Structure 1
Amino acid sequence: MKLNHKKLVQLFIAIIGLIFLVLLLIFAEQVGDSVRTGVEICLYTLIPSLFVFMALASFFVNSGLLNHVLSPFGWICGKLFHIPNHYGPLLFMSMIGGYPVGAKLIAEQIQQGKLSPQIGQRMLCYCVNSGPAFVIGSVALPLYQNRKLGFFLFFSNIAAFFVVGILTGIHQKAVQTPIQPKRQQIASTFVHSVLSSIKSMGSICGFVLIFSAVIGLLYDTGVMQSLVSLFGFFMDPNLAKGLLVGCLEVTNGTIACGDIPGITSILAVAGLTAFGGFSVHFQIKSILLPTGISMKPFYCYRLIYVLVSVIGVWALLQLTQTSVSTFAAATGVQGIWFSFSPVSSIFLILLSLLLLLSDRKSDIIK
């Protein structure tokens, strides 16, 4: 029987999957330790820095409460990116929220009929970036004990955000504003935003655990060490290890970059946080599944995004004459307690007051 290219790929994936299952049984104890590391990443890094902001970002975008406040930002982005101005809150929340926030907001807007899949696919190319809570609280402080380097990483991501946004908007014609569905009540919108964020966090944490197990298995079987030795002919072995691990899962990758000396460490971290890692990409894919959006344009522009981020960090280091001193990361995740954004806490308090003072009856809360 003649096999075509597609069937050969499926057969290869099936064989790799079977080998992986066998190795999981052989190295069950070691894989368990790796999964526990992934659990620590979820508990001490992802959930504190992401969940509250994701829920509030979803609420503010879906409720339209920030449309007037962020209208100048929407106007600027509309002129630069050639998208409707009222997407300003979505762009702003994506820019400061963290990797999956932008994808989640885009998916919700498409499902609600407020955003066309074509524009959403274009916006995905630049609405996926690392937020300040991650690059400062979970990368710069544990690795370098230097908050300023965290801001450098964040600003370089912002630069890449605008560069890719402008590039995707070139030669794009003015887009008609889509029909806005009936506005939901504030309380029901808030409840829906929290519930959908819980579901998204479950997906995000699930992929972190899977990729933590894969990385642990690669180490236990000696595959990772062999790959590091292979790439060690072309680069520093510590750099090779950081890049290999970071391409799979960004948090473990940035921890591994703690062993890289000098400025190379922060440049590697800049590239990894801009790329996001395949774990983040699968998280995005799971969120976008109901929309049917293709991620091919995302990958086409991600290389530009990474290059701009790395060049941006290098330029900031040269302009400010900032030295980089690495502090080798200990085994396991470097958890930062209460690494959420204070802005999220303020928004949550204001939102609670808004709900208490609202005189409109909710169709959910009676």
Structure 2
Amino acid sequence: MRKHLIIALALCAGVCIMIRPAELSGAVRSSLEGCLEVVIPALFAFTVLAVYLQRSGLYRIALRPLTLPLSRLLRLPEELCAVFLLSNIGGYPVGARLLTGLVKSGRLDRRDASRLMCCCYGSGPSFVIGTAGLQVFGSAAAGGVIFAACFSASLLTAIVVCRAGKPIHLSGSETCADLSADCFIASIDSGARVMYTVCTMSAAFAAVTAVLNVFGVTGLAGWLLGGLGLGDNSERLLPALLDVTRVRELVPGGISASLCAAALSFGGVCVLLQVTALTGGKFSLRPLLISRVPAALVSGLLSVPAGKFAAAAEAYSANTEPAGRLFSVNAGLSVCVLIMAGILILSVGKKSDNILE
């Protein structure tokens, strides 16, 4: 049954590509522009920094003022508390990347990694403030409140997950700090691979959303959600739940702040598939999927004050520069970053092959 359903969906997508190529190409183009102007500038540096801090061992020193009290609260080793912090500051892919590395090294049990994935999953402040804050509400303060709501939901999830059941431990001793150039280059390579996965998945889901729009699924979802008082966001919510970068298309008003926070905490189907690809099946993601619904609800409730900042920003919008321009960057720079990242990946791959030979 599942096989036949997949075949039917693939045929429908193929027909849509042939009869409505303009809509699909436009959606993919818009998604790539969003990656170049929003996603890469917001996530790449944070991802590289998080990986480098973890690989080099510097996070034990840099984050110790925070990990020490957090370790007592969560009943976790300080190293895993640092992973929790890096995951919720660096962006969605960081937690999957760091936990997978610990599992591969044999230091973390697969079941414990599955539990930790429930809370080591979140959007970084740069992405939240840039999309939900500036692009939707025109207010960095509103974005800050939404990020605080999402982080608080992750912290509450961590308290429940880590203090319930058996304590989570790390095996093996801490290694010495590695400040070599090879460690830095490897961190950039890892961050580049993450960005490649994020951008390609985002483009693919843009095409999926366009197909759903052609067949009227998006309009149907908007009609069904129209009775919930979502206003103009009725038809915008489904695309945001599929691809979290589409949060930037939500419009302010009503409960839009809660919708943004809930969608960002959920992460979207696209991000969940990215996490699946990054973990490579090293541990189960079922606990993560189960935890997303309550985490999204908590984030939505805690983000209600963001609406006040949004209203204040709207009152003074006539005297300020549009939010889109405030967060706009040179897309050419992001293209250069992608090209250099590709060259780096190829060079590192060739170097590894030569070493193996």
TM-score (norm 2): 0.82
Structure 1 Cα separation of the partners of residues 139 and 291 of structure 2: 30
Paired position in structure 2 for 1:171: 164
Q: Could you tell me whether the CA contact under 8 Å between 2:59 and 2:82 is conserved in 1?
A: yes
Deviates more, 1:213-222 or 1:57-66: 213-222
Q: Counterpart of 2:268 in structure 1: which amino acid?
A: G
> 3-state SS of the aligned residue for 1:127?
coil
Q: Could you tell me whether the CA contact under 8 Å between 1:80 and 1:169 is conserved in 2?
A: no
* Structure with the larger helix share: 2
CA gap 1:333/1:30 in 2 versus in 1, 3 angstroms: farther
Per-residue deviation, residues 205-243 of structure 1 (Å, max 9, x unmatched): 111001111112222333322332233244445232122
Q: Counterpart of 2:199 in structure 1: which amino acid?
A: C
CA gap 1:228/1:188 in 2 versus in 1, 3 angstroms: same
Paired position in structure 1 for 2:185: 191
CA gap 1:23/1:265 in 2 versus in 1, 3 angstroms: same
Structure 2 Cα separation of the partners of residues 77 and 14 of structure 1: 48
Paired position in structure 2 for 1:43: 36
Q: Could you tell me whether the CA contact under 8 Å between 1:207 and 1:279 is conserved in 2?
A: yes
Structure 2 Cα separation of the partners of residues 273 and 110 of structure 1: 26
CA gap 1:334/1:122 in 2 versus in 1, 3 angstroms: farther
Paired position in structure 1 for 2:244: 250
Q: Could you tell me whether the CA contact under 8 Å between 1:41 and 1:333 is conserved in 2?
A: no
> 3-state SS of the aligned residue for 2:291?
helix
User: Is residue 2:128 matched to residue 1:135?
Assistant: yes
Match 2:100 to one of 82, 107, 122 = 107
Match 1:15 to one of 5, 8, 25 = 8
Shift in Å at residue 107 of structure 1? 1.4
Q: Could you tell me whether the CA contact under 8 Å between 2:52 and 2:184 is conserved in 1?
A: yes
CA gap 1:192/1:235 in 2 versus in 1, 3 angstroms: same
Matches within 5 A, 1:165-314: 165-180=158-173, 186-252=180-246, 254-258=247-251, 262-291=253-282, 293-314=283-304
Paired position in structure 2 for 1:151: 144
Deviates more, 1:64-73 or 1:282-291: 64-73
What fraction of aligned residue pairs are identical, expressed as a percent? Answer: 26
> 3-state SS of the aligned residue for 2:119?
coil
Per-residue deviation, residues 321-365 of structure 1 (Å, max 9, x unmatched): 9657499xx9x99962279xxxxxxxxxxxxxxxxxxxxxxxx9x
Gaps of 5+ in 2: 332-354
Q: Could you tell me whether the CA contact under 8 Å between 2:198 and 2:274 is conserved in 1?
A: yes
CA gap 1:96/1:181 in 2 versus in 1, 3 angstroms: closer
Paired position in structure 2 for 1:5: none
CA gap 1:321/1:153 in 2 versus in 1, 3 angstroms: closer
- Number of aligned pairs? 325
CA gap 1:321/1:141 in 2 versus in 1, 3 angstroms: closer
Structure 2 Cα separation of the partners of residues 148 and 230 of structure 1: 32
Q: Counterpart of 1:299 in structure 2: which amino acid?
A: L
Q: Counterpart of 1:79 in structure 2: which amino acid?
A: R
TM-score (norm 1): 0.81
User: Is residue 2:23 matched to residue 1:30?
Assistant: yes
